[in-house]
Structure formats: structure tokens, C-alpha cells
Structure 1
Amino acid sequence: MSTDGALSRSRLLPSLLGILLLLMGLAMLAGGIKLSMLGGSLYYLLAGIGIALTGLLLIAARRAALGLYALVLFASTVWALWEAGLDWWQLVPRLALWFALGVVMLLPWFRRPLLINGPAPMGTGALSVAVVLAGATAVASQFTHPGETLGELGRDTADMTSTAPQMPEGDWQAYGRSEFGDRYSPLKQITPANVGKLQEAWRIQTGDLPTADDPVELTNENTPLKANGMLYACTAHSKVLALDPDTGKELWRFDPQIKSPVGFKGFAHMTCRGVSYYDEAAYAKSENAASAVISEAGKAVAQACPRRLYLPTADARLIALNADTGKVCEGFGKNGVVDLTQGIGPFTPGGYYATSPAAITRDLVIMGGHVTDNESTNEPSGVIRAFDVHDGHLVWNWDSNNPDATEPLPEGEHYSRNSANMWSLASVDEKLGMVYLPLGNQTPDQWGADRTPGAEKFSAGLVALDLATGKVRWNYQFTHHDLWDMDVGSQPTLLDMKTADGIKPAVIQPTKQGSLYVLDRRDGTPIIPIKEIPVPQGAVKGDHTAPTQARSDLNLLAPELTEKAMWGASPFDQMLCRIQFKELRYEGQYTPPSEQGSLIYPGNVGVFNWGGVSVDPVRQMLFTSPNYMAFVSKMVPRAEVAAGSKRESETAGVQPNTGAPYAVIMHPFMSPFGVPCQAPAWGYVAGIDLTTSKVVWKRKNGTSRDSSPLPIGLPLGVPSMGGSMVTAGGVGFLSGTLDQYLRAYDVNTGKELWKSRLPAGGQATPMTYTGKDGKQYVLLVVGGHGSLGTKMGDYVIAYKLSE
């Protein structure tokens, strides 16, 4: 009796595991049958049979279970190697669970009940070999670097100098440091040798935190300025703070008291990426000193506010502030304010305002504006306007639907509805007399049958306008008849570039689709070849697709997705991701949106977004952080839109597209367990030698620490939302990753040199400056990003080298 009881208890564990394996096997078998019917891998069907039979044998306490499971594990290892090679993160969901169960089955107390009727040397030995083989595969994969390029730039100079507008070396006077948008500082105190000694110098909290009335996509994307002996930062609610550079002490604060007739909850997002700075004295001393005629009101502004900040607010105003005191410059516009809604026409609250700082020239403040994506076909104009830098009067306007009519719009008239907009930042070359506009597209993003001729020519491209008149000097369109939300979100970067044909004035335009277009900024001709490639055809009924799309020879495109590239946290959600992949329409990049549902890769967030790139003009190298995340777009005929459906953000949920025959459902391509369906890495840092147009290094960047249930920093390579900067000292900085760190990199190799843990998400672009103490500081706004789900905060943090 006691012997039978002991035997019964000893068989309990194999029986329980048998039941688990049986259920797992049946689940895999069901999914495997569906996947095979879609033309996918037969592995899941066959493995499901093997695992279910192993479960049945364990329940029956048969020693044959060991041999059968050995066969399943061995076959799984061979299959995983065939599909993924020695890629650790691809092997984990394929093998980790089966390896762990194999180890359990080899434990003596587990095997003993199966060997009552005699030993099973063949089964035990086979399972041991299979476990060792799977484990050895995992160990071997630790020494590989799939997807990475490990190289060196190999120089500190290319015998070039920066031709960006001059300013004190220790200043950072524009969003991209200068109106060239290069995000390059000539400071050299911080080097790869000493960056490990960086420590926090000070931190403040602005007090501007999310409220219950705010939209989901409240973002803290601000890059502060260092000018006039102060730091200038703006918050998501459009407040401006002037800080002491050495201590962070608040010197003054301006609150524009933003208002909305219905509150801010319905806004698509709320963002202030920065303010713009103007110094009368700097232009008086420059080679551009021959000024335009200044009105009496403008002269009064110049005298009362010789150093000014221009603040775009979330309720569509442009306010001029005295940079010394924070007081409004009354002579600018009407009592210091230009109403940006003039001529725009009606829009829903939050449907129009400027999220990015203005471009500044000797005479002009040049503004674009955010227009809510995918709300309707009757949205505000995307007009770009140039206001007088002194008194705020409108000098010219450029509307892509009416591109030749740049004379100021008469009072009482309206710009064209729904024209392509510029929500990002422009760049300026005052010597050439041009402003470079990265344009969005005509909303809605996925329906283009009703696009205007202006949209078809200018949207999703780069437009160079004459500074004096606003007339088009040249344009280059990067996405024809854009149906994928490939608006150009990055600021153009200007530099003089060393080429085989001599030094050329270049503009580099990063794009969501992964191409880095390099054009001669004088006339828009390609410096690096651009090819028109055939793309998939077949838009939804009533629409059409362009036969080709532009692709630069310089690009950071990832390989096209395949079923093998599907991922997950386990074999089960990986299988479900494979089923999703097979059910969606996907024919490579530029697969048109469809009623079936299309896989869009790169997705709406893009390879490059508003963070852009940074360029070292002396080394002639480019530093950036490409992302790789797929999205799903499904077109829904208007009559089939479910009652009560709603949009979650501009890139998730049901986008209404009122006025179009289709709404669209958009979301990231995720597994049922909430992890991406495509295999990592999803984010990198990369360095490009601009003299050869070659990627010299590319490394996975960021960990899963703040985006997984357990705070474990697995080095997957995660997406980043935010820009980089580079310094003459040979160090690059980036903070936009989903994990909460500011990181420093060796620009020569891409090696991570230092990181600092942040109290919230760092989805902003860092900057650097010299304090009154003569020390080089690195500064970052740390406030999180609502739609990315990073931790929110209200911090500004500065670092410097320890003594």
C-alpha cells in the first residue's frame, strides 16, 4: 500500500508535465494547421504533434517520452538554426521553452518514475545530446553580432571646417544649435577618455506635469537654448523658463496661459520642441548687416527687446519675448502676439498650431504648423508664413496648393484647405538666400484619390524657397502619392560636404522610409545617387499608386520582412505573429494600404522622425539612431465603420478620415502578449562616413528595462524618439530610447562609453554648452512621452565632468 502510494506520488510530476505538454502540443497543432493552410512553415504543425504525443507518453509514464522529446528538441534546434542562424534574440522564442523542459525531464527525480520497468539509455542519452546541442547553440550565439556593423571611422578630421552660422563656441542658439540644423558643438572638454567622469551638476523640476485635461500624447521634446548667458526651455504647456546655466536657478518664467474652448483632452498631442532666439547685435556685426527696411514699430521692438525669443504656443499664437526679462515685446504683432489662426479657417481644437520652433533669419520668423492627421479631408491649410522679425507683419506666405501666390494674403481671405504642411523644423542658408522646408502630406494619409496638383508635386518632399519672396527655387519629392504617412519629419541638415568632385554645399534630408537624401542645396540635384525603384501596385478602389518611388543609395533600410523574421515571447505568440503576417498583405516597402490589412514597414514612426541626424562637419561623419518598427493599416469602408469606434492617437485606433470613403485602423504590429511581432533589434545607433557614403558602424542601442514586466535590461536594441548631438571632442549623445538613460558614444566606433539613469523618459534631443565657470555641460529635458508610454516627469538635468 505504501509502495503503491509512493509510486503514485512519484508519477504525479511527469503526469502534470504530460498534461501541460499535451495542451501545448494541441495549441501548436491547431495554430500550425492554420499557418500551413496560409502557406507558412510546417514546423508548428509537426512540433505540435510531437509535443502532444510526448505529453500522452508522460501521462502514461512511458520511457519512450524521453526519446520522442529528444527528437522534437533536436529537430527544433536544427530548424531554428536554419531559420535564424546564430542570432540569440531570434533563438530565444524558438528554443528557450523547449530547452528548459528538456532540462527538467533529465532531472533524476523526474526520470525515475519513467524507468520503473527498466532503464532507457537510448532515450536518456538522446535527450542529453539534444539539450547540450540546444545549449551550445545558445552559447555560440553570444559571440555573433547579427544586424550590426563593427567598424571605425578612423579619423578626427577630414581637413574641413564648419560653415554653419557663427556664434560663441559655448552657446547653443537654435534647436539644431544653428539654423543649419547640424547639432554639432565645437566644444572639446568632454572626450572619449574622460566622459566616464560625467556626473550630474544640477537638476530642476519645472512644475509642468500632465493633468487630467491633457491629451494622451503629451510630449516633452524640448531642446533648450543657451544664449545671452542663460538657458531657455519650454514645457509641453508652452511655458518658457530662463535658467542659470551653472546652477539651474530659475531667473524668470513666462506663462502664456494657453486656452481652448473645450479643454485640451481632444487635442491630438501637445508639444513644444523649442523656442527661437534673435540678437540684433549679432546681425549688426554679420556680413548680412544690410537690413531690410524696418518700420517704426520694428525699430521700437529692436530698441526695447534687442534680444528676443519667439514662442509658438499650443493655442496657435506666436509670442515675442524679451530674452533678458521674459516680458512680452509689445511692438511685435498685436501687443507682442501674432495670431497664427489668421487665414487658416475653421478647425477642431488642437487641429492647428506650431509644435516646432520657427526658423530665424536676419529679417524673418518663418513658421509652419501641425495639422491633425487623418481627421478629415477638410483640415486647415499647411501654409508656411514668414513674419517680419521686428514688428511681426506678414512678409510672404507659401501654400503648396497655390505655390506662386506668395504675396501676403489679404485680410479676410483664407488659404487653401488641407494643403501639405510643415510640422517639423526648417533650415536656412542665408548666404544662398534659401529656406529648406521638410513637408508633410495632404491628409488623410492613406487615401489620396482627391489630392490636389500641389500636393502631388510638393508633399512628402523637400522644398527650397527664396528667403526674400517665398517663391519656389527648387523641390524634390521623396514619396510620390504618399499613402503611408511618409511625411518628412526631420529637420534638413546643411553642411559643406567633401566629395570626389570637390566640396559641395549639401543638404541631407533623413526620411521615415530610411533613405538619407543628399542634395546640392543650391539647386536640389542629387550628390548621392537616387534611383526610382518599382514598387507594389494596387490601391483600394478609387485610388491609385505611383509606379515607382525614390530611394537614395545612402540609406539605413532594414531587409524586407519575411515569415522567418516573426518574433514573440514564446513559440506560441511567435506562431500567432506568423499567422498575422500571412493574413496581412505585404509585398515589401510601399505595400499599399488595403481592406485586407497591410503591413507597413518601415511603419508610421519611420526609420527617422523629428529627431533627425547630427553631423560633424570637421570629421565629415553623420551620427544617427534609426528605428525599425512595423505598423498595420487596414482600410475600412465608411459604411462598415463600427459605431463608437475611436482613435487613440494619430498612429493608433480608428482614424475617422471624415469626407473620405474609407476610415483606417492603424496600430503597431504586435503579438497578443504585447511584444513586437518582428524580431529585434528595433533601434540602433549608426555612424556614416560622408566622404564615402558608407555606414562604418551600426550598433544595437537600448534595453528592455523600462518596457517589460520585469525591470531587466536586456540589450535588445529598442526604438528611440529623440535626436542626437555630436561634439568636436569626439563624443555623441542620445537619450530618446524607451529605457530611461542618457548615453554617450565614441563617434569613431559607436561604442557606448557612459550612461546615466534618468527619472523619467528622455524623449528629447540633448544639447551642450559652456557655463560661466568655463566648464562644458550636457543638458537634457527629461519629461517622458505620452504616446510612447514612457514615464512622465518635469525635469531639466545638467551634467559636467567631476573635478
Structure 2
Amino acid sequence: MQAKASDTGFASKAVMRLVGLGAITALAVALVQGSALRGAPGEDTDWASYHGNPGGDHFSPLTQITPANVASLTPAWRLDTGEGGLQTTPLAIGGTLYAMTPEQEVLAIDGAKGSILWRRTLADANKQPVRGLSFWTDGKERRLLVGAGMYLHALDPATGAPIDSFGDHGRIDMRQGLGRPAEAIALALTTPATIWGDLAIVGFRTAEATPAAPGAIRAYDVRSGALRWTFNTIPHPGQPGHETWPADAWKTAGGANNWAGMVVDTARGILFAPTGSAVDDFYGGNRQGDNLYANSLVALDARTGRLLWHHQLVHHDIQDRDPPSPPVLLTVQHNGKPVEAVAQATKHGVLFLFDRVTGEPLFPIDEVPIPASIVPGEHSAPTQPMPRLPAPYARQRLTPDLLTNRTPAAHAQALKAFADLASDGPFAPMQVGKSTVVFPGFDGGAEWGGQAIARGKGILYINANDVAWTGALAPASQAQGAAVYQQNCAACHGLDRKGSPPDFPSLTDVFSRRLEGDVASTILHGQGRMPAFSNLAPQMTALMDYLRNGDQPQRGEMQAIGSGSAQGQRFIFTGYRKFLDADGYPAVAPPWGTLSAIDMNTGQYLWHIPFGEYPALKASGMATTGSENYGGPITTASGLLFIGATIYDHQLRAFDAGSGKVLWQTTLPQAGTATPMTYMAGGRQFVVIATSNARDAKSPPGTGYSAFALPRH
């Protein structure tokens, strides 16, 4: 009975499903009002939520920095945090920043000076990126919630000390309660908990291949750590959506997890959660059906976890087209009336806009026929939902006329390579033995940094990647070490172990470069973009033998595990590959990255510009190529948009939000691959961004936080 993108009569069906929401709304308002006591974060001066506020709109009401004076911004302080990957957007509460290091240490920082007030090392920390933290107060108690590795920690914001009464002596093991043995589950909390009332609502990242954790969304009591409710994104028998999977899939299927984060309408108590792909990402022969609630935007009663409405954005996903960022709450003018809406961006370059209460699409959605899979055992969805407005913010189909013309040689090479690829739009299925173009690429379109709005105007700002990748399938191996590698490692490092540097390093001859213990530690604990695979400990000997010897006989004596590979998977993904020219630049024509302003009242673009540069190409006269970018924008009430994100030019830019004109920019020590934030401390407005060169292997390693402010008078 839930709203679905392929249903007709959206409004009437969705309204019928929401009978009784009024009572929930009244209770939600009461709960929120009850928590808004003295000691709560200052809305006008702080950055108290991951994306600025519970609605996730990346908007700050601060106005000290304006279009007229932004050109005077100067460095205020810098805090270096070592080598690794850093993607954290700090919180700012009463002049104190709460942030992370690449080693998952928690920092409290004097927001005016940049000095460390306290530092907390978390037990069992790893090197997974932590993109944000959560803060809760009822006016008396205060808690800092930190997801790190497989644990959700509760810390005292004043000292960093664990709060012993929360969970198991200050933390919760998120592997517990998922209906699978904890030791068989690999997951990580890269996105912070969403706070509503006295609940911390949590999703997680899990493996991209079998076995993977089932993506339950869970709410915990922020004081005790007790589990308050669970929403099963892979429905159990008797739950709506169970019929869209094989009957027993709920026992073994994985994914459909909320890894990108959630937002909440605090007044109504409605939680909005985008969900990830079902596992395996690229072959769904063992999960026939639409696979609800994977690849969906689900609206839940934040108090109980009850499903209010949903829309599946991709049916039976076999291209890893899950929504990459939290949705955004905004108000738009629709049919002459203000409508409180929710917007969801996608990797494949389109924006969906819904009435946040009813789930009604505010722009028509068509079910568009797509190419059918020819892979044995696979039954792809016949159609996919595509909104009529706004137009896609990334190109949708790669054709010969869109190949690079950077040089005649680069064009000739791209044309030759393209002739051997399948290219049939954003939902072209993978093939066995022939690579398929994925355009926009696996990293979007939109990415995890999220979007910003001009509050009160209905304008949404989005940065996007616009480069092509390729991928293919291959028969799965029956050898134990090879099967373990294929299931867990090949997607990133390739079936041939050559990777796709610099994003995914080669593993050929890895033991000539790294000690075996270091390799094993990285596999078990994760590092940077690579998740932790603690569940592989029992299979480590076979995997290490395979990394050492390749397809040569292993100590495992070529043991067969299941039919083909783990969980009977017949085909595996051969690896992510960017479509590049011989010089390492995208083999498609620019722009390779864009920044757009979209009027969500009408669905029309106000401006759409190339975003980012390659310094070497700029020096040769190609200054408007755009580049890949990771991390989102923020906006201020004074009409500014701040964004870093571009991985090669290391710029932090301030745009006029109305025109898209650059008003100020500065070169950061490393790329600003995180969403910035802004706050007041000591009477000054600061803009802070995390920096890291983890995505640019040609630049010196390093991470840190850079702060900017107007000069003191």
C-alpha cells in the first residue's frame, strides 16, 4: 500500500496511506518543543548538524561575510591532522568545533583560535572516513555521538570521555541485532546519526558484494543506547515489499542500506532516508524482482519507524545507481501555493522532487523503457523512473560526438576504445566479456557531499561529476582464494588485480611493496576509501595466497565454495574503470565537473557552469574543463555559496549564489574534499573546510582543517 514511482494516482493513494499522520505530527511537535530548552545550540551562530540543520539544506543564516566583502577573506587558522583521507564536516557548538582525524580520533577545537581543547582516541578505531558527528542536548545533558568503524560512541562534549551509561560502556556494536552472526558482518558508520527528539537514528556502509549486512535503519535511545525501533529495508515475511524479493531473501540478502545519511522534518517527525543498492551490485540473478526498499527514498515516522511512503528511484538496480547523498528539505511554489518538499539527487544525474507529507511527485515521473540484460540468469527491470523536470544535471548517453577533442591523438585513441564498448544510456546493463559505458560514472552525477538551497527561494545548488566509467561481468571462480577475492576485492582492484590508479591501487606484486601483515591489517580494518572486511578473517589465508600467487595452485587446494562462488553467485563484476585517454584525462569532452543552480519552483536551470580545473591544462590554455569533485556546497543568508570539492586545483571558492560568478577563491594545502561549514566565534564568522590529497596520488599526502575569516578591525 506504499506510494511507488510506478504507481498512478500518486496524490490520492499517498493521502490514503497517511491516515492518522495528524496525531503523529502533534506528538512530534510536542517532543521537539520539549527538547528546545536552554543550552540548545544557537541556530544563528552554530553549525550543529552534519549538513547545517536537521533538514540538511546546507544553509546558514549568518551574514557577516557578504558578496561585498568576501574578497577580503584571509586565513584565520590551520590545523594539520596527518596523512590519510579526511572528509569530515565539523560541528560548531558555542564556539567549539568537533572534528575527526584520519585515524578516527575525535578533536575538540577552539573555533576562534584553532587550538586543540581535547583529543580522544576511540577503541577499535580504523582508517575509514568519518564524514560528520552528531550533537544532542535536552538543555541539561549534552552528548556527542560519533560513528567510527562498527561502533556508535557517546562522548561528553566537555571532555571527550565516554558516557558509560550509553550502550556497552559508552558504545554500541552496530553488528548486533541484524539477524546474522556478528563476526560474519562487515559494516562501518561513515555518516553520522540523525537526531530527532531523544533518538539517534543510524544507517551504515556495508560490503558491495555477498555476504553483506541487511540494511536495517535503527533508532537508539540517545541516553541509554537501547534500541527503540528498526525498519527492515529488506522486508521480512508479512511486511509490505516482501513480494519484490525471492521468498527467503531476507535471510541472506544484503545491502539496501542507508549509507548516505538521513534528514528529518522536525516539526512533523518525518524521517527521510535514501537507501543503497541490493547486493550484489552488478548481478541480480539471485534476487529477482524490484527489490524494495533498495534504491528508494523512504519516509518514516521518526517516533516509531513506521513506513509512511516510499518511492523506488531505481528498480532492481544492477548498475550501482543508489542515491549518493541525503535528501534536502525545502519549500517551493507549486500550482500557486507553497509546498514543503523533499528533493533527492542521484548518481545518474536526475533530481526527484516530492511533497514531503504525501509523497506526491511535484514534477511528473515517467517509467522509461531501458535495455534488457542478456546475462544468463538475470532479469533486468523493463523500465526505470525518470522525472520530466528538472532536466538531468549530467549527460546521459555517451556517443562518438561526445568524445574528447583535447588533442587529435587523444580523440583518435578514445574513438578506437569506444568502438569496443557497449553504450546505451544510463541504465545499460553489464555484459559478460564486453565492457559497458557507465555515464554518468559510478561516482555520479551527484556525490555524497549533498546539495544546498537558498532558503525561502526554492533554489537548489548541486555540484556533479560528468565523466564516464566502464564495467563488465565475468564468470565467478570456484577456487576459494580467487572466489573470496572476486567477491570482495575485484570490484575496486579489478579481476586482473591491476586496479584503476589512483582511485583503486594495483595489487599485482603487492607484497613487494608492503609487508604481508600490513596488507592483512588493511583488509581487516579498512583504510581511506576501502571499507573494513573484518568478516574475512577466517578466509585470510586463502585470500593472501591468491594475492601472492594469482591463479597458481594455493594452499586451499582449489576448494569449491558453493555454486560458482560465495552464495552461489554465477557472475562477478570485473572492476571499476574510468574511461581515460593515454595522458590520464577523461576520454569524454568537457565539462568533467559542473555546478548548477536550479529553480525547483519551475524545474528550470538558473545557471550551469563548468566546475574545477586541471592546473596543467589551465597552463596550456584549457581553463574551463571542470573536474571531478567530492564534497558539497553551503549557502548563507547574505547570498554566498562556498564550496571546495575539486580534487586537482585545491581551490575553495565563494560564488555569488544568484549569478554563479566567482567572488573569491584561495588555494588550500590539499584538496577540499568535504563539505565546508560556517559559524560564529569570538564575534567573527568563520568558514572551515577539511582538506586531503587522498584522491590525488600526484600531490603530497596530508590532511587538515583550514579556517578563513574577515580581517580583524
TM range (shorter): 0.7 to 0.9
1: CA distance between counterparts of 2:75 and 2:428? 47
Alignment of 1:188-587 (within 5 A): 188-206=63-81, 208-210=82-84, 219-258=85-124, 270-281=128-139, 306-314=141-149, 316-344=150-178, 345-346=180-181, 351-374=186-209, 377-402=210-235, 417-451=253-287, 456-552=291-387, 553-554=389-390, 555-558=392-395, 560-567=397-404, 569-587=406-424
Query: Is 1:594 matched up with 2:594?
Result: no
Aligned to 1:688: 598
Aligned to 1:38: none
Query: Is 1:638 matched up with 2:476?
Result: yes
Question: In 2 relative to 1, CA 459–661 (structure 1 residues): closer, same or farther, beyond 3 Å?
Answer: same
Whether the 8 Å contact between 1:383 and 1:415 is mirrored in structure 2 is: no
| TM-score after normalising by structure 2 | 0.78
Aligned to 1:214: none
Counterpart secondary structure, 1:573: helix
* Counterpart AA for 2:99: A
2: CA distance between counterparts of 1:179 and 1:360? 8
Query: Is 1:605 matched up with 2:443?
Result: yes
Aligned residue among 630, 639, 655 for 1:721: 630
Query: Is 1:674 matched up with 2:512?
Result: no
Query: Is 1:743 matched up with 2:653?
Result: yes
Counterpart secondary structure, 2:292: helix
* Counterpart AA for 2:582: P
2: CA distance between counterparts of 1:279 and 1:617? 25
Question: In 2 relative to 1, CA 486–347 (structure 1 residues): closer, same or farther, beyond 3 Å?
Answer: farther
Counterpart secondary structure, 2:419: helix
Moved over 4 A (4+): 346-350, 403-406, 414-417, 639-652, 655-658, 708-713, 786-791
Question: In 2 relative to 1, CA 602–330 (structure 1 residues): closer, same or farther, beyond 3 Å?
Answer: same
2: CA distance between counterparts of 1:308 and 1:571? 59
Query: Is 1:628 matched up with 2:466?
Result: yes
2: CA distance between counterparts of 1:712 and 1:585? 33
Query: Is 1:766 matched up with 2:676?
Result: yes
Counterpart secondary structure, 1:625: strand
Aligned to 1:92: none
Counterpart secondary structure, 1:576: helix
1: CA distance between counterparts of 2:130 and 2:204? 12
Q: Which has the higher contact order (CA 8 A, sep 6+)?
A: 2
1: CA distance between counterparts of 2:95 and 2:426? 48
Whether the 8 Å contact between 2:490 and 2:573 is mirrored in structure 1 is: no
2: CA distance between counterparts of 1:444 and 1:710? 43
| Structure 1 residue 513: Cα displacement | 1.1
Identity across matched positions, percent = 32
2: CA distance between counterparts of 1:399 and 1:716? 43
1: CA distance between counterparts of 2:441 and 2:181? 31
| TM-score after normalising by structure 1 | 0.69
2: CA distance between counterparts of 1:771 and 1:404? 53
* Counterpart AA for 2:318: L
Aligned to 1:284: none
1: CA distance between counterparts of 2:419 and 2:403? 10
Whether the 8 Å contact between 1:401 and 1:416 is mirrored in structure 2 is: no
1: CA distance between counterparts of 2:106 and 2:664? 30
* Counterpart AA for 1:257: A
Deviations 1:729-775 (A, max 9, x none): 11101101022111111101111111111111210000111112x11
2: CA distance between counterparts of 1:640 and 1:343? 32
Alignment of 1:154-165 (within 5 A): none
2: CA distance between counterparts of 1:585 and 1:650? 19
Aligned to 1:784: 693
2: CA distance between counterparts of 1:768 and 1:630? 34
5+ residue gaps, structure 2: 1-32, 240-249, 498-564
Whether the 8 Å contact between 1:705 and 1:713 is mirrored in structure 2 is: no
Counterpart secondary structure, 1:574: helix
Question: In 2 relative to 1, CA 638–566 (structure 1 residues): closer, same or farther, beyond 3 Å?
Answer: same
| Structure 1 residue 662: Cα displacement | 1.1
2: CA distance between counterparts of 1:662 and 1:789? 35
Question: In 2 relative to 1, CA 652–494 (structure 1 residues): closer, same or farther, beyond 3 Å?
Answer: farther
* Counterpart AA for 2:117: L
| Structure 1 residue 528: Cα displacement | 1.9
2: CA distance between counterparts of 1:614 and 1:308? 27
Query: Is 1:653 matched up with 2:494?
Result: yes
Aligned residue among 561, 571, 578 for 1:662: 571
Question: In 2 relative to 1, CA 351–227 (structure 1 residues): closer, same or farther, beyond 3 Å?
Answer: same
Alignment of 1:132-143 (within 5 A): none
* Counterpart AA for 2:687: V
* Counterpart AA for 1:433: G
Whether the 8 Å contact between 1:601 and 1:629 is mirrored in structure 2 is: yes
Question: In 2 relative to 1, CA 513–791 (structure 1 residues): closer, same or farther, beyond 3 Å?
Answer: farther
Aligned to 1:174: 49
2: CA distance between counterparts of 1:184 and 1:753? 19
1: CA distance between counterparts of 2:47 and 2:380? 43
Question: In 2 relative to 1, CA 737–236 (structure 1 residues): closer, same or farther, beyond 3 Å?
Answer: same
Structure whose residues are more often helix by fraction: 1
Whether the 8 Å contact between 1:196 and 1:754 is mirrored in structure 2 is: yes
Matched residue pairs, number?
587
After superposition, the CA RMSD in angstroms is 2.7
